[in-house]
Amino acid sequence: MDSNSNNKNSDKTEHNQSEIWDIHSIDNNEIDNAPIGFFIGLVARQYLNFFNKYLSELNINENQFWILLVICQEQNISQEQIASMIRVNEATVTRELNNLEKRNLIIRKTDENDRRRKLVSLYDKGFEMIQTVLDIDYESESQLLNYFSMEEFHILKFLLKKFIVTLDNSHK
């Protein structure tokens, strides 16, 4: 281990932990001392709080939104595939699909090749719900562009995608 990495680690341990948790107290020179998970978690929680407010106005929860989005991208998808794609257990998917089915947003059909499997598709009303939610999401993005340049926003999306792919690959 070189002396620079020792110094960097000692800087981290000497850094006041209470300062790390107050995002407004971290200046740009100290930003490397805060763990990346802190920033990702904070962004995710703040964004989801903002986004969930709009979802609740549409009488839809976060899991239902992700399920609808997956089905929108791939019609006639199995419940197992949905669970895997959104990284929740199958019981959660089943419960949410029951709720979405009662609202006539989705339809489940028996798979002709495997009668034990159910395939899920969207009704037009489901497509309309997805479009409404995506419109809200795009509007929130346009509000963020008041604080970011288009180039910064593109870089942010690129880096987030790279982070997700790296995490996915590291878990294989």
Q: Which residue has the higher pLDDT, 23 or 164?
A: 164
User: Is pLDDT of 136 > 90?
Assistant: no
What amino acid is encoded at 62 in this protein?
E
Contact 119, 78 (CB under 8 A): yes
- 61-116 pLDDT, tens digit each: 999 999 999 999 999 999 999 999 999 999 999 999 999 999 999 999 999 999 88
> What residue spans of 58-149 are helical by DSSP H?
62-73, 79-86, 90-102, 124-144
Pairing of strands 118-122, 77-78: antiparallel
Q: What percent of the chain has pLDDT over 70?
A: 87
Output the average pLDDT for the chain: 84
The secondary element (H helix, E strand) that includes residue 171 is: none
Query: All domains of the chain, ordered by start, with CATH?
Result: 36-170 (1.10.10.10)
**Start-to-end C-alpha separation, the chain:** 28
The total number of residues shown for the chain amounts to 172
Cα 38 to chain center, whole Å? 16
Look at residues 12, 21, 136, 22 and name the one whose alpha carbon lies nearest to residue 69.
Answer: 136
This prediction's pTM = 0.71
Other CB atoms within a 10 A radius of the CB of residue 111 amount to: 13
User: Is pLDDT of 13 > 60?
Assistant: no
Other CB atoms within a 10 A radius of the CB of residue 65 amount to: 22
In the β-sheet with 118-122, what is the strand arrangement from edge to edge? 77-78, 118-122, 106-110
d(CA 122, CA 103): 11
Predicted confidence band at 171 (pLDDT cuts at 50, 70, 90)?
confident
Average of pLDDT values for 36-57?
Answer: 86
Quick check: helix, strand or coil at residue 148?
coil
Predicted confidence band at 12 (pLDDT cuts at 50, 70, 90)?
very low
Predicted confidence band at 29 (pLDDT cuts at 50, 70, 90)?
confident
Q: Which residue has the higher pLDDT, 33 or 64?
A: 64
